[in-house]
Amino acid sequence: MKTLHEIVKSHDAIHRRTLLSSAAALAASAVVGQAAFAQTPRRGGRLVVAADSEPRNINPAIVASNGVFHVSSKIVEPLAEAAFGTPDGLAPRLALSWAGSADGLSATFRLRPNVTWHDGKPFTSADVAFSALEIWKKLQNLGRVVFKDLAAVDTPDLLTAVFRFSRPTPFQLIRNALPALTAVVPKHVYEGTDIGANRANAAPVGTGPFRFAETKPGEYTRLVRNPAYWAAGQPHLDEIVFRVLPDRAAAAGALEAGEVHLAAFSQVPLADLPRIGSVRGLSVVTKGYEALTYQLIVEINHRRPELADVRVRRAIAHAIDRDFVVKTVFLGYATASDSPVPKYDGQFHAPGLNAPGFDVARANALLDEAGYRRAAGGTRFKLRLLPAPFFNETRQFGAYLRQALAAIGIEAELVNNDAAAHLKAVYTDHAFDLSVGSPVYRGDPAISTTILAQGGLPAGVPFANQGGYQSAEMDALIARAAGMLDEKARTGLYHEFQRKVLADVPFVNVAEWGFTSVASSRLRNVDTNPRWAVSNWADVWLDA
């Protein structure tokens, strides 16, 4: 089976072939060369980062999402982080080593010694056990699926945690989940409290290279250097300030004016990259996102009678011109999608898939067949369409989708919300008909992909199936794959999962894409691991 490292290398190759046709990629190659040039890190300085959102809850143990990780990963650490050049694609953080049993019923982690929490108390295996059992398993949007069969965590000593599973759980899945799903929080801060309402969710206490200092809503969040960090000589920076700039044009202007040093996650509009990459003192960086593939999907509320009919869902899929979306919305910085598993993942992406092609005539015929004929004005029925506000591209696609639906007689009311209102409307209140979503693929379908089609999830789980799709056959397939230890058989089950998604259309996959960063040429080590934008930045520094 491919390791995370091999998948990352494959993704990087495909991603770069997509980007090399642009002027922005040429600028990227220059900054990568600069970053690779050996220099002695400079100590001190304040890094100012453009942030297009400010999540209220920045506890990554509860909310595993890149919007949260962008800030919290500097404060709260996982057991391991994604890495270039290691056998399993991982580098130690709070765990020094990890191993799974042959029967899939246990996983043992040897923890890092001499680590302290930001409040001075020692980090121990009790913190790992508490985080895993009380938060990852019970509360985390993704961990509650991956760790659903976690029955106990033994702590034979202060630096050993042995995970015990009630059913066989593939260690390959656990290993792939380590960077994104294993943020460890202090037991002494959370035990005996309402974990979801704990004030530390907004002002985290961690073990990371930076401590939470303050936040001013609508303006900034400030982190300061942790002088007791376990890695000698790190971090190099004194402060990191995440400046709230929801307007992407404003982020580009702040970069050009020297007011911020970094804009990650394609915060600078794609159309501006060739120009801004030529500005003296700025560089466009495409590395550092290899393990962060985003997927553009149309989420469907199956509670709506019209959308409960698979013919209507297939019609919506046929109405979307994926190639047009890649060229016009993403300006070529994406790939048309045919599956919930990205094409770069040669292990899990199913061969020979036949995704619905762009076919307006077929879409209209399916709607007629379903009994939704056009009224006198040409409209069949009306829907509420909520584009996710997290990226400019999701909003732009929302506008495109409204037009595409109109061509097949479906009138869509476009409802634009801020991030908090969107999350509540879609994932808690289910107050939508269609939503434009942007889930992240994290190297294994069981981590953040099957949850998009799994039934029975409680309301309030973000980036999951909150559309009400129910299929006993699908749920059984997901359960079998999650517990399958045989690698070949497990791969086959995930191929079957993809074919089932194409047949039932619980949601519609449209495109898959990576990101770019625009960075000051003073900023060093901006691409040192495949999740760089959401890693700890302990080695990042500012040149004079």
Q: Are 204 and 144 in contact (CB under 8 A)?
A: no
pLDDT, tens only, 211-253: 999 999 999 999 999 999 999 999 999 999 999 998 888 899 9
In this predicted structure, what is the pLDDT of residue 94?
98
> CA 294, 6, 518 angle in degrees (round to 5)?
45
Task: Identify the segments of the chain with pLDDT beneath 70.
Answer: 1-38
Strands 95-100 and 106-111 turn out to be: antiparallel
Distance between CA atoms of residues 326 and 529, nearest Å: 26
> What confidence score (pLDDT) does residue 391 get?
85
Architecture of domain 293-513: Roll (3.10)
Polymer length of the chain? 544
Average pLDDT score, the chain: 91
Contact of 7 with 344, CB cutoff 8 Å? yes
How many angstroms separate the CA atoms of 448 and 141, rounded? 9
Alpha carbon distances (Å) from 71 to 81, 124, 224:
16, 24, 12
pLDDT of residue 38: 54
- The residues with which 282 forms a beta bridge, in sequence order, are 520
| SS3 annotation, 521-535 | CCEECCCCCCCHHHC
Per-residue pLDDT of 340-387, as tens digits, reads 999 888 889 999 998 999 999 999 999 999 999 999 999 999 999 999
Which string of DSSP letters, residue by residue, matches 93-148? SSEEEEEE-TTSSEEEEEEPSS-B-TTSPBP-HHHHHHIIIIIITTT-TTHHHHTT
Q: Quote the pTM value.
A: 0.79
C-alpha 451/C-alpha 290 separation (Å) is 22
What is the pLDDT, as a whole number, of residue 221?
A: 97
List the domain boundaries for the chain. 293-513
Q: State pLDDT tens for residues 10-60.
A: 444 434 333 333 333 333 333 443 444 458 999 999 999 999 888 889 999
pLDDT of residue 462: 85
